Amino acid sequence: MNLAEGVQVVSFGILAVMMIGAALGVVLSSSIVYSAFLLGGVFISISGLYLLLNADFVAAAQVLIYVGAVNVLILFAIMLVNKRQNFAPFPSAWLRKVLTAVVSLGLFGLLSTMVLATPWAYSTTSVPADSSIVLIGEHFFSDFLLPFELASILLLIAMVGAIILARREYLPDQVTPSQLPQTVLTLPERPRELVSSGSEPNE
């Protein structure tokens, strides 16, 4: 997106605040449903950052895949589980919190070092000649046609397998014939008056 530098800085600041606030809400929220909704906000903020970097295809894929598929799948899983009882605290929960804090501080220090050591100088005069969608489409249907088709086949196989596993009924290991449901196709018995309407029964 060819925007003015001031607009880009303001947009980046708004998206960064939204992303950090939503990420903190995901971690600190006591409701797992609200955490899942805030996770969608994080994904949308990241797609906005991709738009600022002229990566329109990656931004659209971010919204379609992560917001429209992954986040919706998480929400469906949360609502289908329908956990009613409260979470019971573990005796060693403080140790896990300490380990989580150490790992988080280590990652924060690593990312801060990377941000400070990376030269972020950029040139505003260089504009890409073609759209990224056109370039990705050309590579998909020329250089990477075979991997693209193989990935499509693998996704189709995974979808069919998921449908078969979801539709499979539970069968116990050992079932006696008396426990099997009587599901054979039988016609309803006709009344005896209709059977013997043509002749009187012999007495």
Inter-CA distances, 87 with 75, 83, 84, 94, Å: 19, 9, 9, 15
Least confident of 46-60, 89-103, 137-151, 169-183: 169-183
Question: CB of 36 within 8 A of CB of 43?
Answer: no
Q: Read out DSSP for 131-192?
A: -HHHHHHHHHTTTSHHHHHHHHHHHHHHHHHHHHHHHPPP--S---GGGS------PPPPPH
Report the pLDDT averaged over residues 123-130. 54
pLDDT at 137: 80
Mean pLDDT over each residue of the chain, to the nearest integer: 76
Q: Which residue has the higher pLDDT, 165 or 69?
A: 69
Residue recorded with tokens 């001031």: 6
pLDDT at 118: 85
Instruction: Kindly report the pTM of this predicted structure.
Output: 0.57
Q: CA-to-CA distance for 119 and 14, rounded, in angstroms? A: 23
Report residue 109's pLDDT band, with 50, 70 and 90 as the boundaries. very high
Tokens read off for 7: 């607009």
Buried/exposed 42-65: b ≥16 CB within 10 Å, e otherwise = bbbbbbbbbbbeeeeebbeebbee
Q: CA-to-CA distance for 170 and 115, rounded, in angstroms? A: 53
DSSP code of residue 65: I
Residue recorded with tokens 């006696």: 176
